[in-house]
Homo-oligomer: A and B are copies of this chain.
């Protein structure tokens, strides 16, 4: 589902679908409630063209569709596309890939 998400993020943004339930992620990672900002687990469903360099070229993202990631929710924008809740956020808000 949501394989062909109908939105294409700009710049260094990605579109993520949240995958964790409660505090334990699908991948067995525990995300403590008392952290300064509780990270979240999700799956990348779309990636932007990357940040523009001083040269005018764009630096391709390190992330690809299908990657499972831990991200800081802060700064992201939540919308619903075809009944699917997604978050649009910048690559700099992604802490790590899982797997």
Contacts and interface: CB of A to CB of B under 8 A. Distances in A.
Interface of A: 6-11, 13, 15, 27-32, 35-37, 39, 46, 48-49, 51-57, 59, 62-63, 70, 72, 77-83, 88, 91-92, 94-99
B13 A79 contact: no
Given A62-B49, A88-B95, A77 B82 contact: no
Given A30-B80, A54-B54, 20 more contacts: A6-B27, A7-B96, A7-B97, A8-B96, A9-B95, A10-B96, A29-B80, A29-B81, A29-B82, A30-B79, A30-B81, A31-B80, A32-B80, A35-B79, A46-B96, A49-B62, A51-B52, A56-B59, A70-B79, A88-B95
What's the number of copies of this chain in the assembled complex? Answer: 7
